[in-house]
Amino acid sequence: MGLIDEKRAFSKRLVEAMRKAGIDTLSPTHVARAFNLRYHGDPVSTQSVRKWLTGRSLPSQDKLRVLAEWLGVAPQWLRFGEGAGEGARRAGMLRQEVRSYRRDQDILLEIFGRLSERHKKLVLDLVEALAAAERKR
């Protein structure tokens, strides 16, 4: 398989995994933002994501690992289309959900930390109100 075919095949797997994860593949901007929240290197551009989605380029190995973890698929399946039987895929999804939950907490704490004191108080008041409403259910 030539490099052009590899890029196209990767793109198909990426789009498939994103759709199964409920991620809108029609918005490379949204995908880039969500990816950059999970990736600790230099942020990727919308153009880079568009190239991944259209089969014009492949992400580097470190970005591929983050994509695979985010989407709950095996990195080797995402890159090469191999090594992800249904059982392994389900187990990967469960592991990814746990990691995603923890990462989402970290992301929320980071964003919360950047808020002004006034906005932090508003967020805390909102969360307390929501928790109180849940307890009444």
| Domain that includes residue 99, residue range | 3-136
- Digitized pLDDT (tens) for each residue of the chain, 137 residues in all: 688 999 999 999 999 999 988 888 899 999 999 999 999 999 999 999 999 999 999 999 999 999 999 998 999 999 998 765 444 555 556 556 656 666 777 777 888 888 899 998 998 899 889 888 888 87
Query: For residue 26, what is the domain's CATH number?
Result: 1.10.260.40
Please check whether residue 92 is in contact with residue 74, taking contact to mean a CB–CB distance below 8 angstroms: yes
Work out how many domains the chain is built from and give that number: 1
Global pTM exceeds 0.85? no
Please check whether residue 15 is in contact with residue 33, taking contact to mean a CB–CB distance below 8 angstroms: no
Residues 6+ apart with CB under 8 A from 22: none
**Closest alpha carbon to 49 in 63, 65, 61:** 63
> So what's the pLDDT on residue 112?
82
> So what's the pLDDT on residue 55?
96
Token pair of 15 as six digits: 């789009």
